[in-house]
Amino acid sequence: MAALMFLAIGLGGFIGTILRYLLSTWITRVSPSTSFPWGTFAVNISGAFGFGLVVSLGSVFIPSFWIDVLLSGFFGAYTTFSTFALEIVRRLENRKTRSALHYALISLILGFTGLALGLWIGGIILVAVRRFDRLIQS
């Protein structure tokens, strides 16, 4: 079972990495030509939301095997803290302190908001499913 878990997490990571690259590249290409790293920003915020959704729904809808694959594999590879950190450092090196602080604060605030929103929406879905189950059973 451990070998299968490692392979599944690796596959999840592979898919997360490819999706991160494609989405980040596309968003960077279509975003206004600013120095703001829209690609990394979008990937990290959407990843935080997805992570929260999986955590919230996981206990009821997703077997623990797949929770590990999604959280450690897919979202672990999809989101990119190291690129986020590098983009902040590069701004500081270029004496764009205000830009670095704005990017860091906006990313952290919206990252936590995305995670909380995923948890909240997952909770709403769970309540709706439980009500639907009770309705069907009665």
Structural domain spans, the chain: 1-137
Quick: pLDDT tens for 17-69: 999 999 999 999 998 877 889 999 999 999 999 999 999 998 788 999 999 99
Residue 79, annotated as binding a ligand: yes
Quick: pLDDT tens for 79-129: 989 899 999 999 999 999 999 999 999 999 999 999 999 999 999 999 999
Supply the pLDDT for residue 40: 93
Residue 76, annotated as binding a ligand: yes
Q: 76: which residues sit within 8 A by CB, 6+ positions away?
A: 12, 13, 16
CA distance 3 to 28: 37
Name which residue leads in pLDDT, 74 or 1: 74
| AA letter at 131 | R
Supply the pLDDT for residue 51: 95
